[in-house]
């Protein structure tokens, strides 16, 4: 990264770049499988409530302190209150945990793209195809390595701008295609049950686990509680409205997650019966369900290939932003050059990611806290570290630095419409709820 900070040339530029980081596998792959598993409509409802309360509060706080200080997480916390410097460091650990397994899923996407491109859609729709694939020792590691290489090449040669440009075409296409596929799915016989499950909250399914899962998903999907939005904020110009930008990013991110659910959950009912086992598939859900949908379509191979290519783009813009974050942390802390830092991060991701990938095959005997490797890292970042970072951020800004710092920053561009609400959320509601959820997560994990 240059010594002098550039900034986004226009208002939309910031929103699009932040949305590019936010929209990714979290929306398309993770949201639907959690919604399917944790009660459909009730999960959706809890998620939406959290998005406009907790998500809004945290995102506006992070972007504001980034823009105010002009620094990324470590520097920003250090400047605002020396005693909270460690929060910046803690936030930096998160992308190091997420990147390896994110790229493993990215590899699955490349594999499915290749499969549909070579006309193997029918095989991919078979029940055992996915498990057969991820349990192999070599193939998933190969596709994972290919994915991380694409990411690394983009970062090393600094062609992020090109990818961003391309994704301005790819993202709208992805949305159009997702809407098309969702329409196809919800008009199949038997989809009504699935629609009901997804859209009508069943309050008897509500539990603390629903809230925990929805909250972890919120952080993950909106790239919160890991310093990324602070960095993005540091590049934001003083003349764009913070409040409005945050709204736009949130709406965009949530709408895509919602659509992904609309495409996948009814399909589970149409093609797999919609029983608990089919709904509780977890990380494999998208890869098991969608090929069945494409198989049912005319030109399924072409549509499948196009879909996975667009998903690949959305995933890449996110993994590039993850990788960038890791690289700039190494650059800043160790004073290494950009190339060297990128190579070292890539090797690290290759090693840890391969282990995660093998966790579905030869290393499947390894269980940490009763979880497989991918689920373990996912739990560690989303249910433990991110809530801790979020709590500390609320305490630091709400009670030590003062919410006024954020409020003033927002008010540079006009009135802060929900200032009172923001202040109460930041100081009291968010940290208290987060502490409760964290306790619950840890006690669950400890059995």
Which residue ranges make up the site for ligand PHE (CB under 6 A)?
21-22, 24-27, 98, 220-221, 223, 226, 228, 318, 321-322
* Smaller CB separation from ligand PHE, 33 or 269: 33
Largest CA distance in the chain: 61
C-alpha angle with apex 169: 163 to 175, nearest 5 degrees? Answer: 115
* Smaller CB separation from ligand PHE, 210 or 221: 221
CB of 108 closer than 8 Å to CB of 25 = no
Angle between helix axes 300-334 and 160-186 (nearest 10 degrees) is: 140
Residue nearest ligand PHE by beta-carbon distance: 26
CB of 278 closer than 8 Å to CB of 45 = no
* Smaller CB separation from ligand PHE, 220 or 252: 220
Dist. CA 40–CA 24, nearest whole Å: 21
| Kind and range of the H or E run holding 52 | none
Q: How far is CA 265 from CA 88, 218, 236, in A?
A: 38, 19, 37
* Smaller CB separation from ligand PHE, 125 or 230: 230
CB of 385 closer than 8 Å to CB of 97 = yes
Q: Minimum distance between the CB of residue 219 and ligand PHE, rounded to whole angstroms?
A: 8
Q: Minimum distance between the CB of residue 31 and ligand PHE, rounded to whole angstroms?
A: 8
* Smaller CB separation from ligand PHE, 178 or 321: 321
* Smaller CB separation from ligand PHE, 25 or 90: 25
* Smaller CB separation from ligand PHE, 72 or 318: 318
Q: Minimum distance between the CB of residue 281 and ligand PHE, rounded to whole angstroms?
A: 19
Helices (H), 51-138: 56-69, 73-80, 85-117, 121-124, 129-134
Dist. CA 388–CA 427, nearest whole Å: 15
* Smaller CB separation from ligand PHE, 221 or 301: 221
Q: Minimum distance between the CB of residue 27 and ligand PHE, rounded to whole angstroms?
A: 5
Q: Minimum distance between the CB of residue 89 and ligand PHE, rounded to whole angstroms?
A: 17
Q: How far is CA 321 from CA 26, 231, 325, 350, in A?
A: 14, 10, 6, 17
Q: Minimum distance between the CB of residue 46 and ligand PHE, rounded to whole angstroms?
A: 18
Dist. CA 100–CA 110, nearest whole Å: 15
CB of 28 closer than 8 Å to CB of 220 = no
* Smaller CB separation from ligand PHE, 98 or 263: 98
Nearest residue to 322 via CA among 104, 168, 162 = 104
Q: Minimum distance between the CB of residue 315 and ligand PHE, rounded to whole angstroms?
A: 7
Dist. CA 370–CA 446, nearest whole Å: 9
* Smaller CB separation from ligand PHE, 245 or 318: 318
Q: How far is CA 50 from CA 249, 332, 388, in A?
A: 15, 34, 17
Q: Minimum distance between the CB of residue 200 and ligand PHE, rounded to whole angstroms?
A: 26
Q: Minimum distance between the CB of residue 184 and ligand PHE, rounded to whole angstroms?
A: 24
Nearest residue to 256 via CA among 189, 333, 314 = 314
Q: DSSP letter at 284?
A: G
* Smaller CB separation from ligand PHE, 92 or 125: 92
Q: Minimum distance between the CB of residue 250 and ligand PHE, rounded to whole angstroms?
A: 12
Angle between helix axes 73-80 and 56-69 (nearest 10 degrees) is: 80
Q: How far is CA 73 from CA 274, 318, 361, in A?
A: 43, 18, 37
Residue that is written with structure tokens 């009901």 in the block? 196
Q: Minimum distance between the CB of residue 228 and ligand PHE, rounded to whole angstroms?
A: 5
């Amino acid at each position: 990264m240059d010594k002098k900070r550039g900034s986004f040339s226009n208002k939309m530029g910031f929103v699009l770049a932040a949305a590019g980081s936010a929209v990714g596998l979290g929306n398309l792959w993770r949201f639907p499988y959690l919604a399917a598993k944790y009660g459909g409509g009730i999960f959706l409802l809890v998620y939406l409530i959290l998005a406009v309360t907790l998500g809004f509060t945290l995102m506006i706080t992070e972007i504001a302190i980034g823009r105010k200080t002009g620094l990324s997480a470590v520097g920003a916390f250090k400047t605002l209150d020396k005693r909270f410097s460690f929060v910046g460091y803690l936030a930096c650990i998160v992308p190091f945990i997420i990147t390896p397994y994110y790229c493993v899923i990215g590899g699955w996407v490349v594999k499915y793209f290749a499969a549909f491109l070579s006309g193997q859609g029918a095989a991919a729709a078979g029940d055992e195809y996915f498990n057969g694939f991820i349990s192999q020792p070599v193939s998933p590691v190969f596709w994972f390595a290919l994915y991380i290489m694409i990411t690394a090449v983009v970062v090393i040669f600094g062609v992020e701008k090109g990818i961003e440009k391309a994704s301005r075409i790819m993202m709208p296409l992805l949305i159009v295609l997702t809407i098309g596929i969702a329409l196809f799915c919800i008009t199949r016989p038997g989809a009504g049950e699935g629609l009901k499950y997804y859209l009508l909250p069943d309050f008897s399914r509500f539990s603390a686990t629903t809230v925990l899962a929805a909250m972890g998903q919120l952080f993950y999907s909106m790239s919160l509680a890991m310093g990324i939005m602070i960095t993005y904020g540091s590049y934001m110009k003083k003349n764009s409205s913070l409040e409005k930008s945050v709204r736009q990013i949130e709406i965009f991110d949530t709408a895509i997650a919602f659509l992904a659910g609309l495409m996948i959950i009814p399909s589970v009912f149409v093609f797999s019966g919609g029983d608990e086992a089919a709904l509780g598939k977890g990380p494999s859900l998208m890869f098991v369900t969608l090929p069945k949908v494409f198989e049912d379509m005319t030109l399924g191979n072409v549509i499948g290939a196009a879909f996975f290519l667009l998903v690949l783009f959305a995933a890449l813009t996110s993994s590039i932003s993850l990788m960038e974050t890791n690289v700039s942390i190494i650059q800043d802390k160790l004073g290494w050059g950009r190339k060297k830092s990128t190579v070292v991060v890539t090797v690290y991701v290759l090693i840890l990611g391969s282990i995660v990938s093998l966790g579905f095959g030869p290393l499947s005997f390894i269980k940490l806290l009763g979880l497989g490797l991918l689920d373990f890292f996912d739990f560690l970042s989303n249910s433990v570290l991110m809530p801790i970072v979020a709590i500390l951020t609320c305490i630091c800004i709400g009670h030590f630095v003062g919410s006024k710092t954020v409020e003033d920053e927002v008010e540079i561009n006009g009135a802060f419409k929900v200032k009172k609400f923001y202040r109460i959320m930041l100081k009291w509601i968010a940290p208290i709820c987060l502490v409760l959820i964290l306790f619950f997560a840890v006690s669950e994990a400890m059995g």
